[in-house]
């Protein structure tokens, strides 16, 4: 069975640790591994806008000795012009791995079910697990450890980032809180899965409505746009309910004095985060952006070298 990375909990706690260790090693020595040596191609498919993800995967695949091949989702029209299943069968015969940013999680699961090569989730409506590997690497660098750290995500607690914090944070043994207004709560199945993982790692996963209570005493505060890709029509109606969750210095002052601030970017200053927070001394947002490269390289190298994936085409 080919191993994929479609959701944060596709890596066990020990596997997540292995990938993060490899990411630190690759950060110190960027040419340390060449799993795509001989210029194997990797398809990078984008059905939604991208900047960091396209650049970090393109640079990362090249640094791993492979050939990154960006596929414009608008041209490919996967699922419309050609079924996801047929697309997977075609790509799987030509590339060594598939990285896909798309809409529903069902689409990437179908791709993984038919590709015969590793498939990596580069953001779906439900999860953004590659971002979380970068976030965990960043927290580990700045806080020294992951297990036991308290992290709060503010804003759209129903979005992909909230879901990924719950799963990846619980996997790392962290205490994760997601905090957002009524009507924007995580999928109960994802929350239940995070609680199940946390029970085995010593972490925890909770929803806390009050933003001050959610942030008080934590080590890490994170936020994200209030309007995820695909939700643009809801921008106006989201403004009022999300306003109390805006991460300004007053709200941040309730966290630990040395708490660090994360944001997956792109950021909307004055909306979900104040300019003096994202540009302030507690922000590690641009380390986090850099770490996309190192974390994704580690993930790809780990997947390519996984014993269950060694027999994959091509």
N-terminal to C-terminal alpha carbon distance within the chain: 16
d(CA 95, CA 245): 43
Which of 161, 184, 15 has its CA nearest to residue 176?
Answer: 161
Peptide bond into 11 cis (omega under 30): no
Stretch in the footprint of ligand NVA (CB under 6 A) among 33-41, 158-166, 280-288, 306-314: 158-166
What is the gyration radius of the CA atoms in the chain, in angstroms? 19
- Near ligand NVA by CB under 6 A: residue from 11, 159, 205, 289: 159
Residues of this chain, 120-139, that bind ligand NVA according to CB under 6 A: 123, 128
b/e for 10-48, b at 16 or more Cβ within 10 A? bbebeebbebbebbeebbeeeeebebbeeebbbbbbbbb
We find the least distance from the C-beta atom of residue 180 to ligand NVA, in angstroms, to be 12
Contact, 265 vs 224, CB < 8 A? Answer: no
Residue 105 appears among annotated catalytic residues: no
Q: Rule CB under 6 A: is residue 160 a binding residue for ligand NVA?
A: yes
Per the residue annotation, which of 3, 52, 107, 128 is the catalytic one? 128
Residue 292 appears among annotated catalytic residues: yes
Residue 101 appears among annotated catalytic residues: yes
We find the least distance from the C-beta atom of residue 130 to ligand NVA, in angstroms, to be 10
We find the least distance from the C-beta atom of residue 24 to ligand NVA, in angstroms, to be 23
- Near ligand NVA by CB under 6 A: residue from 224, 272, 288, 312: 224
Residues of this chain, 236-265, that bind ligand NVA according to CB under 6 A: 264
How far from 260 is each of 52, 71, 157, CA to CA, in Å? 21, 35, 20
- Near ligand NVA by CB under 6 A: residue from 161, 214, 261, 284: 161
DSSP-assigned letter for residue 309: G
Active site residues: 101, 128, 131, 224, 264, 292
Residues that bind ligand NVA (CB under 6 A): 123, 128, 159-161, 224-225, 228-229, 264
């Amino acid at each position: 069975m080919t191993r994929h990375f479609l959701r944060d909990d596709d890596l066990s706690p020990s596997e997540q640790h292995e990938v993060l260790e490899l990411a630190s090693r690759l950060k110190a020595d960027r040419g340390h591994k060449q799993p795509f040596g001989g210029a194997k191609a990797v398809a990078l498919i984008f059905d939604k806008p991208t900047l960091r993800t396209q650049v970090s995967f393109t640079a990362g695949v090249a640094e791993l000795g492979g050939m990154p091949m960006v596929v414009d989702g608008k041209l490919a029209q996967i699922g419309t012009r050609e079924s996801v299943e047929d697309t997977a069968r075609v790509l799987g015969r030509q590339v060594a791995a598939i990285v896909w940013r798309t809409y529903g999680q069902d689409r990437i699961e179908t791709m993984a079910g038919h590709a015969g090569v590793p498939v990596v989730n580069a953001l779906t409506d439900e999860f953004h697990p590659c971002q979380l590997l970068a976030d965990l690497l960043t927290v580990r660098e700045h806080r020294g450890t992951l297990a036991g750290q308290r992290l709060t995500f503010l804003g759209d607690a129903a979005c992909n980032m909230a879901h990924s914090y719950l799963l990846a944070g619980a996997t790392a043994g962290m205490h994760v809180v997601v905090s957002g207004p009524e009507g924007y709560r995580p999928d109960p199945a994802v929350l239940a899965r995070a609680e199940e993982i946390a029970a085995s790692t010593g972490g925890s996963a909770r929803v806390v409505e009050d933003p001050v209570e959610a942030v008080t005493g934590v080590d890490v505060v994170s936020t994200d746009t209030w309007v995820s890709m695909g939700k643009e029509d809801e921008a106006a109606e989201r403004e009022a309910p999300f306003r109390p969750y805006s991460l300004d210095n007053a709200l941040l002052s309730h966290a630990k004095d040395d708490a660090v601030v994360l944001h997956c970017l792109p950021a909307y200053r004055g909306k979900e985060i104040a300019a003096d927070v994202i540009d302030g001394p507690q922000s590690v947002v641009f380390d986090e952006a850099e770490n996309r490269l190192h974390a994704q390289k580690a993930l790809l190298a780990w997947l390519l070298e996984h014993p269950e994936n060694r027999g994959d085409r091509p």
